[in-house]
Chains A and B, each alone.
Chain A
Amino acid sequence: MKRIVENTHPLAIRWFHWANFPILTLMIWSGLLIYWAYHPYKIQVVGVPLITLFPEWFFNGLHLKRRLAEGMSWHFALMWLFTLNGIAYVTYTFVSGEWRYLLPKRNSFAEAWQVVLHDLGIRKAPLPADKYNAAQRIAYSSIILMGIGSLLTGLAIYKPIQLAWLTTLLGGYAMARLLHFALTIGYVLFFMVHLAQVARAGWNNFRSMITGFSVVDENV
C-alpha cells in the first residue's frame, strides 16, 4: 500500500535550495565574464600543463569575451542574493533543527567510504537507514562551508584594501582570487555528482524536493 510521508523536505529548505540554483548559475556565469579578462590558471602535473583554464573554444562557445564590465555589474548585484539566501538557509536549518540531519556525525567520515562503495555497486549490503547518509551529510555540510569560503574570498578580492586583514589572512590578493576560482570549480563538480545521484535515486526522491512529500510503498 502506498503511503504519503509528509514534510520530507520542509518548504523553507526547498525554497532556499531552488532559489540558489539560478542565483549560483548567474554568479558562475558573471564570474566567468570577469575571469576571462585575466585567466592565468592551468592544471599541471610536475610542470607539464594538462588543462588550460579555459581553452579558447570554451570562452568562444559561451560568448564570455570582452564582457568584463557586464560581468562585474551582475556579480556585484547578485552577491547580495547569494549571501542573503545562504544566511537564510543556515539560520533556518539551525532554528528548525534540520541541522541534525545535515551535519556529519562522529562516524560519518568512516561511514562515507561505505556509501561510496555502495554507490559504485561494490558493497552489496544496504546502508543504514537515515534521512541523509554519511556521504550526503559531509557533502551538504561542505557545500555550506564552500559558500562561506566564496563569500570570504570574494570579499577579500572585492575590497582588498578596506578588508586588508581578510585578504592577508587568505594568503594575499592573488591567492584569494585563486581560492575563489577553485571553489567555483568545486561547485561545478558537486553539481555533476549531485545530478548523477538525483538521477540514480529516481522520481520519488526528485519529486519530494518539489512537492515536499514522498511516497512509500509498504507492500514492498
Chain B
Amino acid sequence: MTNEQLSQPSERETLTTDQQIRRRTLKAFALFGLASLAPVGLWKALTAKPLDQGVPTALRAILNANEQVAKAYFSNQHLAPTYAVSEAAKQVRTNGSVGLRSSLDTEAWQLTINQPGKSLTLDLDAIKALPKHDLVFDFKCVEGWSQVQHWAGARLADLIDMHNLGTRTGKRPTGEGDYFKHVGMETPDKAYYVGLDIASALHPQTLLAYEMNGEPITAPHGAPLRLIIPVKYGVKNLKRIGTITFADERPRDYWAERGYDYYVGL
C-alpha cells in the first residue's frame, strides 16, 4: 500500500469499519441489556415470598448463614471495651416498655428456670449471693445509637455453674457440647421474650443485673432483675426477667418475629 492509498481510503473500507462499529456496538449493548437482568433477578430472588418471620426466605437464609460465620469467630476472649465509672451516663436511656406494662410486686418476684427434666425457682437474694460484677460499657441499640452505661449484677455463667444448669445431663458439663444450644428469657407477663445462643449467654460480660449506677434498677429499666448482654444489641437485653429456659430449639424472639436478624451479635 502506498501512502496515497492510506490517506484516501476507499468508500468501501470506510463503510466496513462503520458497519463493524455499528454491529459490535449493537451486540455489546444487547449483551449489556441482558446482563442488566442479573440484578433484576437478584432483586426478585431476594424479595421472593414466602416471608420467614417478616423477612423474605432468601434474605433470612443469608442472615442465618452470617450467624454461622459470626459464631465461628465468636470468643469469650473478645470483650466489650470498658470505661471508668465517671464516664457512665447519669440519664440512662430507656427504649422499650413491652413486657413492663403489667404491675409487678418486686418483693414477691421470683425467677423461674426451666430445662428438660429440671426446674428451679430463685429469689433475688439467691442472685445477689453470687459474685457481683460491675460493668461500664457502651450499650448499643439496634437503631444505631450507643451510650456508656454502668450496670452491676451476677454473671449468668456463674448462675449456670452454681446450679449445674443448661446441660442435657443436668450435671456439670464435661465440654461445651454438653450445653443446650439456646437460652430463652421471657418477662413475667410473657409479652417480651428473647432467644440467645449459649455461647453469648456464657460470655463473661453477660450479667443478670440488679443495679444501675450503683442503685437498685428502677422499674422502667427492668426491676428487679434484667439481662445485660454486651455482645448483643439492646433488643436482647431483656428487662424484668420472669423465666429462663434452656433448650436445643431456638426460643421465640420478639424482634426476630418482626423481621430482625435472630442472632444480632456484636
Contact = CB atoms under 8 A, between A and B. Distances in A.
B81 A164 contact: yes
Given A34-B144, A211-B25, A70 B259 contact: yes
B24 to A, nearest CB: 6
A68 B143 contact: yes
A173 B20 CA distance: 56
B207 to A, nearest CB: 14
Contact of B17 (A4, A77, A162): A4
B220 interface: no
A212 B25 CA distance: 9
A162 B138 CA distance: 14
Contact of A76 (B32, B62, B74): B62
A1 B9 contact: yes
B28 A210 contact: yes
A32 to B, nearest CB: 12
A215 interface: yes
Interface residues of B, number: 50
Nearest to B266: A161
Given A72-B261, A76-B62, A76-B66, A38 B81 contact: no
A88 B46 CA distance: 23
A205 to B, nearest CB: 13
A56 B172 CA distance: 56
B141 A38 contact: yes
B51 to A, nearest CB: 11
A72 B25 CA distance: 39
Interface string B58-77: 01101100100010011100
A4 B20 contact: yes
Interface of B: 6, 9, 13-14, 17-18, 20-21, 24-25, 28-29, 32, 35, 39, 42, 46, 54-56, 59-60, 62-63, 66, 70, 73-75, 78-81, 138, 140-146, 230-231, 255, 258-261, 265-266
Interface of A: 1-4, 18, 22-23, 34-35, 37-38, 40, 68-70, 72-74, 76-77, 80, 159-162, 164, 167-168, 172-174, 177, 207, 210-213, 215
